[in-house]
Amino acid sequence: MKVVHIAPGALDSMIEHRRRTGAGRLDECWEGVWHLTDPTARHQQLALRIGRIHSEVIEDPGKGTAWISINLTDREENWIYNHRCPDGAVILRSNPGRWVGERQSAFLGGPDLVLEILSEGEDVRTKLTFYHSLKVREVLIVDPETGSPELWGLQDEGYRTVEGPSAVTGLEYRKGKKGLEVRDNATGRDWEV
């Protein structure tokens, strides 16, 4: 990861410009340290396709909501100074979290599942500690190059890899011949992503 030291006024101006133009909608702030991101087209396409599957399986039957590029925070006031923006999320109807900020900009608490697509030069596993503090039940990490998924389940001490289907979505994520394959064991439906 590269580090840049910049005057606070210049940083505020740059962040405002990125937000105004849409370039910074996926930026994160970790305890006051800004992480500026520019995901690739494949990264965004993969997140959207998985989000569509989650929407079909979770939203259509009324189990909850599926999101892409959601802001997650651990604070109600000044949430902008400590938030992560996973590539997707599933929030079930029973979830105790709630929306905060102007126009409900961030979700306070942990979604039931978050999606992270690997990016070059970034180790998304460094976010697991934050997700654990929010009590995110499952974290799905996908390699955009190979389609290899990792599903992590919440434990008292941290996360542990999960074999088999997700307890949240009921879907099984696996590496297929062409990339990520997703299977709904309840219906027998398969998707290639």
Give residue-wise pLDDT tens across range 18-62: 566 655 555 655 555 555 565 567 878 999 999 999 999 999 999
Could you tell me which residues come within 8 angstroms of residue 37 by beta carbon, excluding any fewer than 6 positions away? 26, 27, 28, 85, 119, 122
CB 134 within 8 A of CB 160: no
Predicted confidence at residue 1, as pLDDT, reads 45
> Where along the chain do its domains lie?
39-192
Written as one string, the DSSP assignment of 160-173 is EE--SS-TTT-EEE
- The alpha carbon dihedral of 56, 146, 36, 45 has a sign of negative
Q: For the chain, how big is the Rg over CA atoms in Å?
A: 17
CATH number of 39-192: 3.90.1570.10
So what's the pLDDT on residue 69? Answer: 83
Q: Tell me if the pTM is above 0.85.
A: no
